Amino acid sequence: MNRIIHRVRGPVRREGAGDYILLTLLSFAATVSLTRLFLELTGYPQLGSGTLHIAHVLYGGVLLFAAALLPLILANRWAYTTGALLAGVGVGLFIDEVGKFITQANDYFFAPAAPIVYAFFLLVVLVYLQLRRPPSDDIRSELYHALDGLQEVLDHDLEPGEMAALSQRLERIARQPESPESAKLAHELLEFLDSGMLSVVPEEPDLLQRVSSSITAFEERWLGRARLQAGLAGGLMALGFLASLGVIELLIPTLAPGRVERILQALVEAGRVAGGRSLGWFAAWMALDGSVGLILLAAGVLMITGRDKLGVGLGTLALLLSLTTVDLVVFYFQQFRTIITAAVQFSLLVVIIYYRRHYLPVTDLHSRDGNGRRG
């Protein structure tokens, strides 16, 4: 006899959602950067004639609409990958023109536009970091993901690793007593997987896996811990020196006579400094940049002297402060030229996280002294 139960409509995170958001992030950042570079190199050309002007925000809207339609129309997994790519390019073209839509003069070069674009990018980064956390392992979510994995069977694209992961997931569902109907379905699917009727294709790593493997192989063959440690220390100290240089010149004007005045004059002429408030933000920029620079210098020195744990911790803190706080102010004053600096900071943060995971594992942190050696 059929039982009457309540419908369940709770959200379930899609398998691989983090990878899709990462693809959107990368395409978003690349689109804004390349669009600004192209317009700068070509003198900001306009499509159209007379009163007609076709802004690239329209192309962004079309791509966003296409990204929304794809998963509504197609059930294939590649529709999500394509949609993620189109969404990133579309939102990049769209938000690049945000200055026109928050000013009465439709000012593309409105100074706060760059920090707004960067802040929006950081918000998407936060979403990605949330998706990096392990998903819920409740029975309903597990069965959702198992059924999603069966698409590989339909496309004749099931690899041995995917087969093993799918079998393990179904076995967990089949053993649980909370949902007999889910356990029954999992048993049936396991019998199908074990029937010997499935075609399994050889393992073929995707692009991200190939890039990750290549980087790991390069690091193991050519770098090793000592060289990677030295490179990290040098990178942190170089960034710290450049960040602190402006503050040092501000405090000791004799080192670079007139340089601060020239910077302020250029900012005034560009409209970045137009009163006491913006001058206060300039002072805040100098103070924040100098403080972070000193932390980066200290982190580099600590790594050179072998105190990896403390150096990595300070370096990570300083880079996160730069990317999430200092760069927001810098984007206002230096606009999209800050993209290169932010990219270098982000790359160094990725390397320092890689170093921490490979040479300072979490399980060993309590058994090491401040020098990163076992006590």
Distance CA(316)–CA(319), nearest Å, equals 5
Q: What is the per-residue pLDDT for 357?
A: 81
Q: Are residues 127 and 149 in the same domain?
A: no
In total, how many domains does the chain have?
3
DSSP code of 171?
H
Q: Are residues 127 and 144 in the same domain?
A: no
Is 202 contained in some domain?
no
Do 54 and 48 meet the contact criterion of CB atoms below 8 Å apart?
A: yes
374 DSSP β-pair partners: 368
Distance CA(305)–CA(314), nearest Å, equals 14
Scan for tokens 């493997």, then name that residue: 213
Q: What is the per-residue pLDDT for 1?
A: 45
Per-residue pLDDT of the chain (375 residues; tens, 9 = 90+): 455 555 667 888 888 888 899 899 999 989 988 888 888 888 878 776 667 777 888 999 999 999 999 999 998 889 999 999 999 999 999 998 888 888 887 878 777 788 888 888 889 888 988 888 887 778 888 888 888 888 888 888 888 888 888 999 999 999 988 888 889 999 999 988 888 788 788 877 777 677 777 877 777 777 777 888 888 899 999 988 888 876 776 666 655 566 666 766 666 665 666 666 666 667 777 778 888 888 999 999 998 888 888 889 999 999 988 888 888 877 877 777 778 888 888 889 888 888 888 787 654 444 444 444 443
- The model's pTM is 0.75
Distance CA(290)–CA(284), nearest Å, equals 10
Q: Please name which of 147, 22, 4, 143 lies closest in space to residue 75, comparing C-alpha atoms.
A: 147
Is 181 contained in some domain?
yes
Residue 65 structural domain: 17-44+52-131
Q: What is the per-residue pLDDT for 20?
A: 92
C-alpha separations of 251 from 3, 37, 278 in Å:
78, 35, 20
Q: Are residues 221 and 344 in the same domain?
A: yes
Q: What is the per-residue pLDDT for 266?
A: 64
Q: Are residues 76 and 217 in the same domain?
A: no
Distance CA(267)–CA(335), nearest Å, equals 11
Q: Is the dihedral of CA 30, 32, 34, 37 positive or negative?
A: negative
Distance CA(30)–CA(48), nearest Å, equals 25
SS (H, E, C) 280-308: HHHHHHHHHHHHHHHHHHHHHHHHHCCCH
Do 71 and 80 meet the contact criterion of CB atoms below 8 Å apart?
A: yes
Q: What is the per-residue pLDDT for 373?
A: 43
DSSP code of 336?
G
Q: Strand (E) positions, 168-302?
A: none
Distance CA(227)–CA(303), nearest Å, equals 12
Q: Are residues 261 and 311 in the same domain?
A: yes
Is 373 contained in some domain?
no
Q: Are residues 155 and 301 in the same domain?
A: no
Q: Are residues 275 and 305 in the same domain?
A: yes
Q: Which two tokens stand for residue 220?
A: 């193991």
Q: Please name which of 257, 220, 240 lies closest in space to residue 359, comparing C-alpha atoms.
A: 220
Q: Are residues 353 and 231 in the same domain?
A: yes
Q: Are residues 216 and 122 in the same domain?
A: no
Q: Which two tokens stand for residue 184?
A: 């029954």
Is 6 contained in some domain?
no
Is 178 contained in some domain?
yes
Do 25 and 86 meet the contact criterion of CB atoms below 8 Å apart?
A: no
Is 374 contained in some domain?
no
Is 184 contained in some domain?
yes
Q: How far is CA 367 from the centre of its chain?
A: 32
Query: In terms of C-beta density within 10 A (0-12 exposed, 13-18 middle, 19 or more buried), how is residue 138 classed?
Result: middle
Q: Are residues 242 and 347 in the same domain?
A: yes
Distance CA(348)–CA(334), nearest Å, equals 21
Q: Are residues 282 and 320 in the same domain?
A: yes
Q: Are residues 35 and 69 in the same domain?
A: yes
Is 199 contained in some domain?
no
Distance CA(110)–CA(336), nearest Å, equals 12
